């Protein structure tokens, strides 16, 4: 993953990792969807888990 990004305005920092797509302000959800609502983004406990989810969800389509 790239360097950590700052949380959006009004967002409280929490432990965990999120996956941002190539489209700014879009994130991967836990179910593999994409959302532009940061409150619905997926949060994984480790960087490795986030990368594994990203790779599994986008194995054929590199949107991130």
For 1-34, the pLDDT digits (tens) are 566 667 778 877 778 888 888 788 898 999 989 9
Answer yes or no: is 56 within a domain: yes
Answer yes or no: is 27 within a domain: yes
State the residue for tokens 């532009």: 36
Answer yes or no: is 40 within a domain: yes
* Residue 44 confidence class, pLDDT cut points 50, 70, 90: very high
- What is the per-residue pLDDT for 39? 87
- What is the per-residue pLDDT for 2? 60
Structural domain of residue 20, as residue ranges? 14-64
Answer yes or no: is 25 within a domain: yes
Number of domains in the chain: 1
Answer yes or no: is 5 within a domain: no
Chain centroid to CA 51: how far? Answer: 9
Answer yes or no: is 6 within a domain: no
Answer yes or no: is 45 within a domain: yes
The pair of three-digit structure tokens given for residue 41, joined into one six-digit string? 């983004």
Q: What share of the chain is helix, strand, coil (3-state, %, to 5)?
A: 20, 10, 65
Chain centroid to CA 14: how far? Answer: 13
């Amino acid at each position: 993953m790239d360097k950590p990004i700052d949380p959006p305005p009004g967002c409280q920092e929490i432990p965990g990792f999120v996956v941002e797509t190539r489209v700014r302000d879009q994130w991967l959800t836990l179910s593999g969807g994409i959302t532009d609502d940061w409150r619905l983004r997926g949060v994984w406990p480790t960087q490795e888990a986030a990368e594994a989810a990203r790779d599994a969800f986008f194995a054929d389509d590199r949107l991130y």
